[in-house]
């Protein structure tokens, strides 16, 4: 992970604003739906890569005990300005040494796996999340999917001839150490689960067609959005849709 570039990126990028757009609400609503499905109010949540509090703040307001862990100091200050009761800790997802083993009921990794480029870094972040998670409790991970990147950036944006050297013969994105984002396929996600000996509870297409239909969704009425979210939540667990969206949400349980 290029920490300097990532900090510069998030000093400029408004993640809260993105998640409040109509199309990104599908991603957000899906995550919140599945957090509340398995995590009881009053439980302790460590939000690793908390950004400016898009999840930390509403979860705290809903009755959870939230600790926001974030790489970018500016982002943590934004959380502190919005809610002084949330514990804010500065640090990198691959090193959670500020926390004791078995400290939290739930770990959220909604961002770090987008930016940790190498498999070794991803594995370290997941091992750290497992360490600080209580046995029998849950880890939620969001990943950016390879096919979204290829379809959107290579073909939709007519860049395939310019970036073909950045793909392997099977159209898998070849990540470079200087990249800001990394893209995975189901086999990559499954290997991380297996190498950390975590049990899968659910794996979900987190945002469905939303990223492909931004213009159409952002022009929908509230009633249409409501029906789209209802449709998405009724289909997001279907195996034939996994990997089709921009994000996958993997819900894992610590069993040892």
What number of CA atoms fall less than 13 Å from residue 17's CA on the CB side?
4
Q: Determine contact, residues 22/225, Cβ cutoff 8 Å.
A: yes
The predicted structure's pLDDT at residue 2? 58
Confidence at residue 77, expressed as pLDDT on a 0 to 100 scale: 94
The pLDDT, as a whole number, for residue 7 is 61
Q: Which residue has the tokens 């999840």?
A: 55
E-only strand ranges, the chain: 44-48, 65-70, 87-90, 104-109, 133-144, 198-205, 247-254
- Cα gap 174→192, rounded to integer Å: 18
CATH (domain of 148): 3.40.50.150
Q: Is the pLDDT of residue 12 over 90?
A: no
Dist CA 48 CA 230 (whole Å) = 28
Using 50, 70 and 90 to split pLDDT, how confident is the model at 8?
low
Q: What is the pLDDT of residue 177?
A: 86
Between residues 219 and 23, the one the model is more confident about = 219
Q: Give the structural domain span for 46.
A: 3-254
Report how many domains make up the chain. Answer: 1
* Statement: residue 6 has pLDDT above 70: no
**Predicted pLDDT at 218:** 92
- What pLDDT, in 10s, does the model give residues 135-149? 999 999 999 999 999
> Could you give the residue ranges of the DSSP H alpha helices within 48-185?
56-61, 73-82, 112-115, 119-132, 146-149, 160-163
């Amino acid at each position: 992970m290029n920490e300097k570039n990532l900090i510069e990126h998030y000093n400029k990028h408004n993640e809260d604003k993105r998640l409040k757009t109509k199309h990104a609400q599908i991603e957000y609503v899906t995550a919140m739906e599945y957090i509340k499905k398995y995590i009881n109010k009053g439980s302790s949540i460590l939000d690793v890569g908390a950004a400016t509090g898009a999840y930390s703040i509403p979860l705290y307001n809903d009755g959870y005990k939230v600790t926001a862990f974030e790489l970018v100091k500016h982002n943590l200050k934004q959380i502190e300005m919005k809610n002084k009761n949330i514990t804010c800790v500065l640090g990198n997802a691959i090193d959670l040494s500020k926390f004791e083993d078995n400290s939290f009921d739930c770990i959220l990794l909604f961002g770090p796996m987008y930016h940790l480029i190498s498999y070794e870094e991803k594995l370290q972040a997941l091992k750290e999340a497992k360490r600080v998670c209580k046995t029998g409790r849950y880890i939620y991970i969001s990943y950016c999917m390879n096919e979204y990147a290829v379809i959107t950036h290579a073909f939709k944006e007519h860049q395939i001839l310019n970036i073909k050297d950045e793909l392997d013969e099977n159209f898998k994105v070849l990540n470079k150490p200087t990249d800001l984002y990394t893209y995975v396929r189901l086999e990559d996600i499954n290997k991380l689960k297996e190498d950390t000996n975590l049990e899968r509870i659910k794996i979900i297409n987190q945002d469905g067609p939303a990223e492909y239909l931004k213009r159409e969704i952002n022009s929908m009425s509230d009633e249409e959005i409501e029906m789209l979210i209802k449709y998405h939540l009724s289909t997001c667990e279907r195996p034939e849709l996994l990997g089709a969206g921009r994000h996958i949400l993997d819900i894992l349980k610590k069993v040892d």
